[in-house]
Amino acid sequence: MGNEEKAAFTKAFRIFLRAYYQERLRRGSERLRALKEALSKEEDECYGAALELAELQDSLEQLKREGESAATLDDDFEKILAMEGVRLISVDEHQGHLRICTKRIMQVVRLQIEGKTQQTEYDIGQFHIVIRLLEENLTKDSIIFLPGEYRGTHSHPHAGATGYSVCFGSPLNQDISKLIADFKIAPLVHLLLSFLRWDEANPVPLREPSKKETPQQYDPIFEFGYRSPDERAMAKRAYAALLHKAKLIRANRLNSQALKEAEEEFSKYLSRVLDLRNQMKGAEKILARYRMRASNLEYHVNEQIEAFIGAGAYMIRQEYAPQSDETALCINFSFRNLSLELEIKSDALPKLRGIPSDHPLSLKVDPNGYFILDTHTLKELSKLHARASFVEYLHAVIELLRAGKLDERRRRQ
């Protein structure tokens, strides 16, 4: 090969390789910029999700550490105990029940007689108002009325069926359910006592006792509360402990789903951030590699020209298609008495021209000249293409032609 031919080959390859590197640098820079923008957006989203998760976790930790202030709970306890009709407050710690034990309740029924309002009082006895604070769904159904020590002479028309939840009527049902759900115990107890006293429906007389039974007589001892200051103080502590436990359990239930969703949201964004960071590292390495090769363009041109000639290439030319703004490298080489041309573009499968249609090698390319490759071989060629190792690319093509590592099934498909 003469010096003029070699110089022409070198010039053609230099033009192609320079254009190839410039295109790779442009695309690499655009990809890196897009990754940075995407990463910035995902990091903002991830930070927001992390803040939301931290706030939920902090609120739960604060509930565990502090709970409601002792002063507030003590105040509620005293308010309830001071209400008219309340005898004492007790707590079933095992079942999580708050029990309001009443004194004798007189139900007042108002009647309009000849335009005048008359009031009649009925003795409906004492009650144990049980509020089940540890139930999952706190509603008016979490409240039941049990008979106290003294039964009275009449039964309340609604709270008389002891042991069952009570229908308080449409407006009261909603109010009572909200109060218990919000742990507003003092207003709740006040409303329940008013319900017992002022229900407009007539109470039901208790059955007459048999001759062998003695009617229960009201004894002032039924009005007594705690037996000692220590018992009262113990009840106050138990009240505060139960309210704190109930609120914590409810907060955990309400926040568990929100906490789970927040954790999933944070994990989703964190995974995206880590993935984008890895992609950026890869893009930066590729870009740095192309910059280094572009800066040593002459070295790579001369190195590969010598290797092309050594591999049997007898012509190298560069083609530019203005309509598509594409540059192609065309390498002419001989293989088994055939004069072949390998066309390589920046972003396309290689084309092989020059194989006669009746030649056995024609089975290894499609009518457009594209190789019929299996997936693994296609990946290996793509790696050589991306590294701009075009001499190795030519060697790989020659080896494919020799070994027949082409997938005939793709041709048939």
Q: Which residue has the higher pLDDT, 208 or 237?
A: 237
By the 8 A CB rule, do 165 and 176 touch? no
Q: How confident is the model at residue 4 (pLDDT cuts 50, 70, 90)?
A: confident
Using CA atoms, how far apart are residues 220 and 104, in angstroms rounded to an integer? 10
- In 128-228, where does DSSP find H-type helix? 170-181, 185-198
Using CA atoms, how far apart are residues 16 and 40, in angstroms rounded to an integer? 36
Q: How confident is the model at residue 409 (pLDDT cuts 50, 70, 90)?
A: very low
* Amino acid (one-letter) located at 216: Q
Taking only the tens place, the pLDDT of each residue in 169-200 is 777 888 999 999 888 999 999 999 999 998 87
Q: Which residue has the higher pLDDT, 331 or 69?
A: 331
| pLDDT number for residue 209 | 53
Q: Which residue has the higher pLDDT, 353 or 215?
A: 353
Taking only the tens place, the pLDDT of each residue in 324-375 is 677 788 999 888 888 899 888 877 777 888 888 888 877 778 888 887 777 8
Using alpha carbons, select from 325, 305, 249 the residue that is nearest to residue 12: 305
SS3 219: coil
Mean pLDDT computed over 238-252: 86
Q: How confident is the model at residue 99 (pLDDT cuts 50, 70, 90)?
A: very high
By the 8 A CB rule, do 234 and 89 touch? no
Q: Which residue has the higher pLDDT, 68 or 11?
A: 11
Taking only the tens place, the pLDDT of each residue in 124-168 is 989 999 999 999 888 999 999 998 888 888 888 877 656 667 888
Mean pLDDT computed over 294-315: 87
> What pTM does this model have?
0.50
Token pair belonging to 82 = 């001071």
